[in-house]
Amino acid sequence: MESATFVRGSVGRGSSAASELRRFRQRPRPLPDLRRWRRRSTAAIRAEPDLRVRVNGLEMPNPFVIGSGPPGTNYTVMKRAFDEGWGAVIAKTVSLDASKVINVTPRYARLRAGSNGTAKGQIIGWENIELISDRPLETMLNEFRQLKREYPDRILIASIMEEYNKAAWQELIERVEETGVDALEINFSCPHGMPERKMGAAVGQDCHLLEEVCGWINEKATVPVWAKMTPNITDITQPARVALKAGCEGVSAINTIMSVMGIDLNTLRPEPSVEGYSTPGGYSAKAVHPIALGKVMQIAKMMKAEFDGEQSLSAIGGVETGGDSAEFILLGANTVQVCTGVMMHGYGLVKKLCAELQDFMRKHNFSSIEDFRGVSLQYFTTHTDLVKRQQEAIRQRKAVRKGLQSDKDWTGDGFVKETESMVSN
Ligand SMILES: Cc1cc2nc3c(=O)[nH]c(=O)nc-3n(C[C@H](O)[C@H](O)[C@H](O)COP(=O)(O)O)c2cc1C
């Protein structure tokens, strides 16, 4: 039964032998001992909504994943993430030659609500012109090894990016996998700096390049591969479809949105200002959440219509509350990544996210993430259909006669309201 599912899934997507092997290893199985655990548990424990997720064969204590960026830059901070209880960690993107990566400072600029540039008001938007990791690859690999030694049961995902060169991509995959990481996220989406070297969004915005590079990656990788999508494209379903058809096990969306944070009206220089000059950067945090919801909804609909349900979706963008994450899961996300939220609130944020997500689940009587994953997707339709539905609703409302149907319906308690229901002015 399991191998039949595996054959159908892999042949349908025309994937490579390596990705078939990965899929076989990750074939769907029920969460371990879930039923027995449920039977044994006390009433109090039974009432606790279960946040555990299994995605592409990876088991996580909750769906909250550190998104690639500053919160996954080195051993110390990734260890902290595991200690605080994050479901998984995606490290800062690495490449073969970190000496080509030269960062500038300042490289962040923030947008505050209702403050017109003053230091007051809630931070709602965040721009960065940070590049991928500038730390030597070997240093990062040693830290991945150490983390997997110390946290063998926790999920560590490496984020990788390379130039348009098959040998380079495959060397990077081999060296990263050798550390024992559980999965790979491919950064096809960094909007600044890297595209100048034909990397990141330069690949994610070109479906032909993307298909070719995904082919190289899936030919080599032996762990699950998630392709991280850029929102800086007209139709995000196109690269998502290409990556999944090329054998990637999942997609992540979104990376940052190309932006200019603002112009200083005293100096006339753009922000963030580096020696008086700037370059467009990537926008993140609360302000991008509605845009991310839109992109995730489009990808989820496409995946539901065109794929067999084995592929995963990791949603990212402006998550700071359990409610933000519930929205992504209601659209079909298996996991939810957080990057800027951790930069603003610290690693302890995961505890609040878990508690708030459980509150939401309790309110609706959901006992597991799968109970509500994708439930809201069915309520998206075309505008033409909205018009039809509204016309039908109006027709039905008009059909119901106003006021009391008969004198026998008058009541003592509702007398005044009942009178008003039959007044015309
Ligand atoms: C300062 C900063 C650095 C980032 N670096 C990376 C990176 O190295 N690789 C990557 O795939 N995404 C990177 N991202 C993008 C985030 O992982 C995430 O996709 C995006 O910020 C939206 O999520 P958020 O609103 O939770 O931050 C970075 C984001 C920020 C703010």
Q: What separation in Å is there between the alpha carbon of 338 and the centre of ligand 1?
A: 8
Decide whether any atom of ligand 1 lies within 6 Å of the 284 Cβ. Answer: yes
Residue 407 covered by a domain? yes
CB 55 within 8 A of CB 121: no
For 50-81, b/e burial (b = at least 16 CB within 10 A) is: bbebbbbbbbbbbbbbbbbbbbbbebebbbbb
Quick one: tokens of 365?
Answer: 């009587």
Q: Into how many domains does the chain fold?
A: 2
Q: Which protein residue's CA is at the shortest distance from atom 5 of ligand 1? A: 69
Pocket test for ligand 1, best of 86, 127, 255 (most atoms within 8 A of CB): 255
| Same domain, yes or no: 308 and 401 | no
Residues with catalytic function: 190
CA distance 393 to 210: 46
Give distance in angstroms: CA of 366 to centre of ligand 1.
31
For residue 316, give the ligand 1 atom closest to its CA.
Answer: 23
CA distance readout (Å), 116 to 22, 254, 281, 282, 420 = 51, 27, 20, 20, 49
Task: Examine the domain organization and report whether 370 and 391 are in the same domain.
Answer: no
Residue nearest to atom 18 of ligand 1 (CA): 255
Residues paired with 127 in a beta bridge: 109, 283
Angle at 412 between CA 406 and CA 418, to 5 degrees: 50
DSSP 345: H
**Which candidate, 290, 236, 250, 283, places its Cα nearest to that of 129?**
283
Ligand 1 pocket check for 19: Cβ under 6 Å: no
Q: Is the CB of 126 under 6 A from ligand 1?
A: yes
Determine the residue of 228, 340, 342, 345 to mutate for testing ligand 1's pocket, defined as the one with the most ligand atoms within 8 A of the Cβ atom: 340
Q: Which helix (H) or strand (E) holds 156?
A: strand 155-160
CA of 359 to the centre of ligand 1 (A): 28
Q: Which long-range contacts (CB under 8 A, 24 or more apart) does 383-387 make?
A: none
256 CA to middle of ligand 1, Å? 6
Going from the Cα of 232 to the center of ligand 1, the distance in angstroms, rounded, reads 14
Asked if 328 contacts 336 with a C-beta cutoff of 8 angstroms, the reply is: yes
DSSP type of residue 409: G
What's the token pair of residue 322?
């359990």
CATH at residue 170? 3.20.20.70
273 and 324 inside one domain: yes
Tell me: do 343 and 391 sit in the same domain: no
Q: Is 339 in the pocket of ligand 1 (CB under 6 A)?
A: yes
Residue 362 placed within a domain: yes
* 325 CB near ligand 1 (under 6 Å): no
> Which 8-state DSSP code applies to residue 198?
T
Claim to verify: residue 401 and residue 311 sit in the same structural domain: no
Q: Among 286, 324, 333, 314, which residue's Cα sits nearest to residue 90? A: 314
Domain residue limits at 372: 2-379
Residues in the chain with pLDDT values less than 50 = 1-14, 29, 32-45
> Is the domain of 198 the same as that of 110?
yes
Listed residue (295, 321, 308) closest to 380, CA to CA: 295
The answer to whether the CB of 93 is under 6 A from ligand 1 is: yes
Amino acid letter for position 140: M
Residues 144 and 229 in one domain: yes
Burial status of residue 312 (CB atoms within 10 A of its CB: 0-12, 13-18, 19 or more): buried
In-domain check, residue 135: yes
CA of 145 to the centre of ligand 1 (A): 23
Element (H, E) at 386: helix 383-399
Helices (H), 126-252: 137-150, 166-177, 201-204, 207-220, 237-245
- What is the spatial distance between Cα 420 and Cα 207, in angstroms, rounded to a whole number? 63
Q: Which of 63, 111, 112, 66 is nearest to 342 (CA)?
A: 66
Among 364, 379, 394, give the residue marking a domain's end: 379
Residues 219 and 114 in one domain: yes
Task: Count Cβ neighbours within 10 Å for each residue of 382-393 and write b for 16 or more, e otherwise.
Answer: eeeeeeeeeeee
Residue nearest to atom 23 of ligand 1 (CA): 317
The answer to whether residues 132 and 256 belong to one domain is yes
Q: Whose CA is closest to 137, among 103, 100, 88, 189?
A: 100
Please give the structure tokens belonging to residue 196. 């100048």
Establish if 425 belongs to a structural domain: no
Pair 259, 320 in one domain = yes
User: Which distant-in-sequence residues (6+ apart) come within 8 Å of 115 by Cβ?
Assistant: 121
Q: How many CA atoms lie within 13 A of 14 on its CB side?
A: 8
Q: What is the dihedral of CA 185, 188, 194, 197, to 10 degrees?
A: 120
Distance between CA 83 and CA 289 in Å, rounded?
Answer: 27
- pTM for this entry: 0.87
* 288 CB-side CA count, 13 A: 31
CA–CA separation, 386 and 288 (whole Å)? 26
Give the residue among 272, 253, 276, 406 at the shortest CA–CA distance from 332: 253
pLDDT tens for 42-79 read 444 456 999 999 999 999 999 999 999 999 999 999 99
- At position 373, the amino acid (one-letter code) is R
Q: Which of 135, 131, 150, 132 is nearest to 81 (CA)?
A: 150
Q: Name the residue of 101, 133, 251, 256 whose CB sits within 8 Å of the most ligand 1 atoms, as the mutation to test its pocket.
A: 256
28 plus 40 within the same structural domain? yes
Query: Does one domain contain both 352 and 400?
Result: no
Confidence at residue 35, expressed as pLDDT on a 0 to 100 scale: 47
